[in-house]
Structure 1
Amino acid sequence: MTAPSSTPRGERAGRPGARWETTLTWTGEQYVDDTTPTPRPNRATRRAMARTARKAHR
């Protein structure tokens, strides 16, 4: 058995018949145009914002 070489080796060529399996997946990002109106927050968010506003005015 020999010791590891201090000079790195380049990448090896792939085996014949081996294939790269590529799958396309959705990252969750969507394009949103700047001219579209912002959606209204849901009920829980609206209630939390109102609660925070009431606490701030005490």
Structure 2
Amino acid sequence: MTAPSSSPRGEHAGKPGRRWETELRWTGEQIATDDQPEPRPNRATRRAAARARRNR
């Protein structure tokens, strides 16, 4: 059994004659605007806020 190499390996070179074909498509997603309600904080944030209120 050999030890794993500590040096990272580079990317492989592409094959001659091969090209990336890129096509842009719209997925229907839109950027959120400010008129939407703020998301609720997650459980850890709510617990930290409650702990801060208790320890005042």
After TM superposition, the score normalised by the length of structure 2 is 0.42
Q: Which has the larger radius of gyration?
A: 1
